[in-house]
Structures are given as C-alpha cells and as structure tokens.
C-alpha cells in the first residue's frame, strides 16, 4: 500500500477518535447539567410546605457534592426554614462550579453566549454581596427586638404580676412595636445607620481586576452606600437582565448559568422579604421565574407563597415575613393591650390568658436566641462563598483573556 494511503488511513483514525472523545465529553457535560437541574428541583421541593421527599424516588446512583439533608421540615419562613434555604444555596453553588467552572477550558468563557452570561453573573454576585450585608444588619436589629421581648417576658413571668412589672413590660413592648412599625418606605429603617462601604471592586461587565482581590477575598472600596440605597432596587437590578436561554441554548452551559442566577436572585429576594432591610417598596414585583421550566416549579410555588405573605406585610406595615417576627409582633400587641387595661389584682381567668401569651412569646424568644446567631453566620458564609467563587470564575476569565492575546515577538 502506498505511503500516502497509510497516512490517510492514520489521519482518518485520529479524526474518528477525536470525534468520539468530543462526543463523550459533550454527553458528560449534558449529564452534569441535567444532574444539576434535577438536584435544584429536589432541593427546593424539600422546602415546600406540603413536603413529600423527592429523594425517596431519586436515582440512588445520583449524588451531589454536598447534601442539605435537613433533619426537620420546619414551618415556612421560620428561622430554621431560612437556614435550610441557605444550606441549599451553598449546595447549588458548589454543584454549579463543579458542572460549569472546574476543569473548564477557559476558551469556553470567551464564546457566545457565555461571553455575555458570565459577566452578568459576576455583576449579579456583587449585588448579592450588598444584599447579604443589608440582611446581616437587619438580623442585628431583629436580635435587638428579641432582647426587648425577653425583657417583657421576664417581667410578666413574675408571680404575682404587679404594677411595676407591667410598666416595665409595657415600656419594652412599646419600644419593640415602635421599632417594628417604622415605615422603611420613608427611610426610617433603624438598621441602616450611617453610610457603609458595602460594594466591592468591579470591572466593566461585572469583572474585577487582580488589584481588586487580595488573598482570595475582596478589598472594599472607599465608596459608601448612600442612605437612599434600596434593597428592593438592588434585587430588581439583579433580575433585570435575567433572561431564560433560547431554545438552542437550553442544552448547553447557558442553562446552568441561568439556573444558578435564578437561585441566587430568589434567595436574596426571600431574605430581603423576611428580614428588615433598607427600603423594600415594591419588592414583590422584582422577581419573575418562568413557570414553564421544569426545574423552576418548586421555586415558583415558594415565590407565590412568600408573595402572599409580603402582601399581608405591606398591608399591615409589618417588619418582615419571617415567621418569628410575625408571631412576636402579634403577641406584643396583645400584651400591650393587657398592660393598658391592667388592674390589680388580676382575675384568675386573666392570669391564665396572660400566662399563655407570655409562654408563647418566651418560646418565640428562645427560637430567635438560638436561631438568629446561626442564621447570621450562614449569611456570612454565603457572602464569603460568593466572594470566593467569583474570584475563581474571574481567574478562568483572566486565563481566557491571556490565551486570546497575540504572541509577543522579540
């Protein structure tokens, strides 16, 4: 056989082998994306009020990098529920990086549609950091409310209840309700205090230069968040360019980027709705998850339920949709009514009624005392995870930028 025939046959085998490897890599990529999408469904289905564990019917061979595996199914919008929500966010974030970032050829990030979607994701992450800071400040305020409620509980647990104890409880509860009822639409939010440096270094299109990152974390810039900063507008900005991939892009890397972006926006939206944050007017209209996508169904159900609670919150002028806050506010109002009409000695029936309300408020205070510090730590963990992941993605983007530069000739 002529040498040219041997060479042609050899090149054909190489070409076939390359096509086979490329096809296998493509199939693996699609499998990872599908698995990520399935886990998002399972995770958020666990948060639904009428929970039926989707993991019982799950493929035993499909395992995630981290599993939230909540031991309990707490009440919707309780502190424990939000702890599970943040655990799920961290799991989704870890799986997203495994499916999209780790081991990825940097050249992928320079091609459409990732050349547009990745910078948008990075910019969305910066805005999420500001929201985390606002929520952390709101949790500080909520812990102050818990302390005021605890003062009232300690006073009204005294037996017999005298005028001194009632006056002390009334003062604490009035301070609590006054703080809760300040209208954040008028800029009276207690937690905002003075301007703070929240935003972090960013490069055009959502990136950041190497000088903006030190030791794997972000260096805050000198700019401050103005008193006019709005949590609702921040969430709106995060979702403004959140568009579902086109039909031709739904099987590629655009899909997991969109899923992770939606998860991030939903989590931040939920936190702002639950925890007192600076300026939340119109928050309900700032998130729109497409119902037709299979992975988004449990998120849309949760969005509707939180939206219903938000409508009640705006109608009442309440502080947030966190379950413990709602219960605390209701009990505080009832106990203030009791204090205003207090006459010594109390009738036995009234003693029993007050004791029940005080016991219920004590239970709420206990849940908040145990849960709020842990929730605040989780918010900080989410903050640092977003910072770290953003830095890792930027490293890949930087590698792509260097690879695309023309060679230097000496």
Domain ranges of the chain: 25-53+65-402
pLDDT at 179: 92
H-type helices in 275-347, by residue range?
A: 297-316, 323-340
Helix 114-156 and helix 323-340, axial crossing angle in degrees, nearest 10: 30
Q: How far is CA 180 from CA 67, 309, 361, 372, in A?
A: 36, 16, 16, 17
pLDDT at 7: 58
Give the pLDDT score at 9: 62
Residue for token digits 């490293």?
A: 395
Rounded to whole angstroms, how far apart are CA atoms 405 and 60? 46
Q: Are 365 and 335 in contact (CB under 8 A)?
A: no
Contact 325, 142 (CB under 8 A): yes
Which residue from 218, 191, 194, 180 is spatially nearest to 383, judged by alpha carbons? Answer: 218
Q: Is 220 helix (H, G, I), strand (E, B) or coil?
A: strand
Using alpha carbons, select from 299, 290, 286 the residue that is nearest to residue 250: 290
Q: Which two three-digit tokens encode residue 115?
A: 């050349």
Contact assessment for residue 208 and residue 201, using Cβ atoms and an 8 Å cutoff: yes
Digitized pLDDT (tens) for each residue of the chain, 410 residues in all: 555 565 566 555 555 454 444 444 555 667 888 899 999 999 999 999 865 444 434 444 444 444 444 445 789 999 999 999 999 999 999 999 998 988 788 888 888 889 999 999 999 999 999 999 999 999 999 999 999 999 999 999 998 888 999 999 999 999 999 999 874 544 455 444 434 444 444 433 444 444 444 333 333 333 345 678 899 999 999 999 898 888 777 678 999 999 999 999 999 999 999 999 989 988 877 677 878 888 899 999 999 999 999 988 887 777 889 999 999 999 999 999 999 998 888 888 888 999 999 999 999 999 999 999 999 999 999 999 999 999 999 998 888 666 554 544 44
Q: Is 38 helix (H, G, I), strand (E, B) or coil?
A: helix
CA distances from 349 to 327, 346, 352, 354 (A): 23, 8, 5, 9
Classified as helix, coil or strand, 214 is: strand
Give the CA count within 13 Å in the CB-facing half-sphere of 349.
Answer: 0
Q: 213-214 and 217-218 as β-strands: parallel, antiparallel, unpaired?
A: antiparallel
Between CA 118 and CA 199, with CA 112 as vertex, the angle to 5 degrees is: 20
CA dist 238 to 117, 137, 232, 323, 384, Å? 13, 20, 10, 26, 18
What does each C-alpha distance from 338 to 234, 236, 327, 343, 355 come to in angstroms? 41, 42, 17, 9, 11
Whole-number Å distance between alpha carbons of 88 and 39: 10
Q: For residues 22 and 67, is the Cβ–Cβ distance under 8 A?
A: no
């Amino acid at each position: 056989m002529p040498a040219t025939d041997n060479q042609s046959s050899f090149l054909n085998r190489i070409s076939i082998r390359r096509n086979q490897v490329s096809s296998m890599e493509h199939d693996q990529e699609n499998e990872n994306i599908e698995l990520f999408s399935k886990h998002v469904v399972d995770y958020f289905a666990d948060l639904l009020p009428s929970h039926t564990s989707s993991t019982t019917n799950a493929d035993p061979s499909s395992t995630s990098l981290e599993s939230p595996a909540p031991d309990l199914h707490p009440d919707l919008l309780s502190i424990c529920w939000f702890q599970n929500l943040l655990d799920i966010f961290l799991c989704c974030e870890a799986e997203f990086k495994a499916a999209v970032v780790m081991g990825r050829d940097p050249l992928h990030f320079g091609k459409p549609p990732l050349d547009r979607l990745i910078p948008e994701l990075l910019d969305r992450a910066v805005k999420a950091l500001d929201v985390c800071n606002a929520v952390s400040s709101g949790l500080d305020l909520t812990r102050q409310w818990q302390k005021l409620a605890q003062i009232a509980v300690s006073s009204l647990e005294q037996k017999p209840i005298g005028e001194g104890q009632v006056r002390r409880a009334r003062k604490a509860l009035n301070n609590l309700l006054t703080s809760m009822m300040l209208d954040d639409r008028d800029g009276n939010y207690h937690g905002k205090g003075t301007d703070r440096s929240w935003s972090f270094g960013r490069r055009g299109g959502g990136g950041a230069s190497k000088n903006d990152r030190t030791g794997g974390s972000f260096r805050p810039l000198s700019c401050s968040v103005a008193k006019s900063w709005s949590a609702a507008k921040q969430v709106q900005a995060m979702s403004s360019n959140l568009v579902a991939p086109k039909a031709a892009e739904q099987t590629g890397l655009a899909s997991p980027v969109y899923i992770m972006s939606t998860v991030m926006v939903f989590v931040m939206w939920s936190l702002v709705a639950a925890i007192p944050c600076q300026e939340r007017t119109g928050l309900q209209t700032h998130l729109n998850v497409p119902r037709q996508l299979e992975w988004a169904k449990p998120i849309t159900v949760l969005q509707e339920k939180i939206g219903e609670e938000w409508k009640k919150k705006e109608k009442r002028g309440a502080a947030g949709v966190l379950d413990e806050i709602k219960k605390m506010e209701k009990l505080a109002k009832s106990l203030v009514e009791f204090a205003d009409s207090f006459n010594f000695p109390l009738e036995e029936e009234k003693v029993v009624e007050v004791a029940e309300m005080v016991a219920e408020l004590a239970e709420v205070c206990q849940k908040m005392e145990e849960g709020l510090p842990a929730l605040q730590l989780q918010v900080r963990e989410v903050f640092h995870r977003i910072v770290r992941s953003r830095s890792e993605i930027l490293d890949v983007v930087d590698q792509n930028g260097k690879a695309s530069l023309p060679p230097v000739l000496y």
